[in-house]
Amino acid sequence: MDRRCTDAGASIVSSLIPRRVLSIATLYPNSHTPRFGTFVARSLEALAARGDWDVTVINPIGLPPIRFGRYAALASAANSGVEHGVSVYRPTFTLIPRFGGRFNPALIARAVLPLARKLHAERPFDIVDAQFFYPDGPAAARIAAALGLPLSIKARGADISYWGAKPYALRQMQAAADRASGLLAVSEALARDMAAIGLPKKKMTIHYTGLDRARFTPHDRSAARKTLAENHGIPNEGNLLATVGALIQRKGQALVVEALASLPGTRLALVGTGEDKARLEQQARTLGLADRVHFLGSLDHGQIPVLLSAAQAMVLPSASEGLANAWVEALACGTPLVITNAGGARELVQDPSAGAIVERTPAAIADAIRLLLAVPPSPAAVAQNASRFSWEKNAEKLSQYYGSIVG
- Quick one: average pLDDT of 312-334? 96
- If asked whether residues 270 and 402 sit together in one domain, one would say no
Residues 321 and 370 in one domain: yes
Is residue 166, in this structure, part of any structural domain at all? yes
Task: For residue 157, give the nearest of 318, 384, 343 by alpha carbon.
Answer: 343
What's the total number of domains in the chain? 2
Write down the pLDDT at residue 233. 94
Domain identity same for 233 and 125: no
Sign of CA dihedral 256, 258, 264, 267: positive
Q: Examine the domain organization and report whether 239 and 370 are in the same domain.
A: yes
Do 174 and 227 lie in one domain? The reply is: no
Are 118 and 196 part of one and the same domain? yes
Position 15 scores a pLDDT of 55
Q: What digits encode the pLDDT tens for the residues 37-61?
A: 999 999 999 999 999 999 999 999 9
Q: What are phi and psi of 315, to 5 degrees?
A: -115, 120
Looking at residue 395, which CATH number applies to its domain? Answer: 3.40.50.2000
Q: What is the mean pLDDT of the segment spanning 296-323? A: 94
- 2 within a domain of the structure (yes/no): no
Residue 115 shares a structural domain with residue 228: no
Q: Give me the domain span that covers residue 128.
A: 12-210+390-406
pTM (2 d.p.): 0.89
CA-to-CA dists, residue 404 to 78, 136, 182, 397, 398, angstroms: 33, 22, 9, 11, 10
Residues 17 and 143 in one domain: yes
395 with 366, same domain?
A: no
User: 111-126: per-residue pLDDT in tens?
Assistant: 999 999 999 999 999 9
Domain check: are 175 and 298 in the same one?
Answer: no
In a domain, 216, yes or no: no
On whether both 57 and 202 belong to a single domain, the answer is yes
Burial of 232 (0-12, 13-18, 19+ CB in 10 A): middle
Does residue 4 lie within any of the structural domains? no
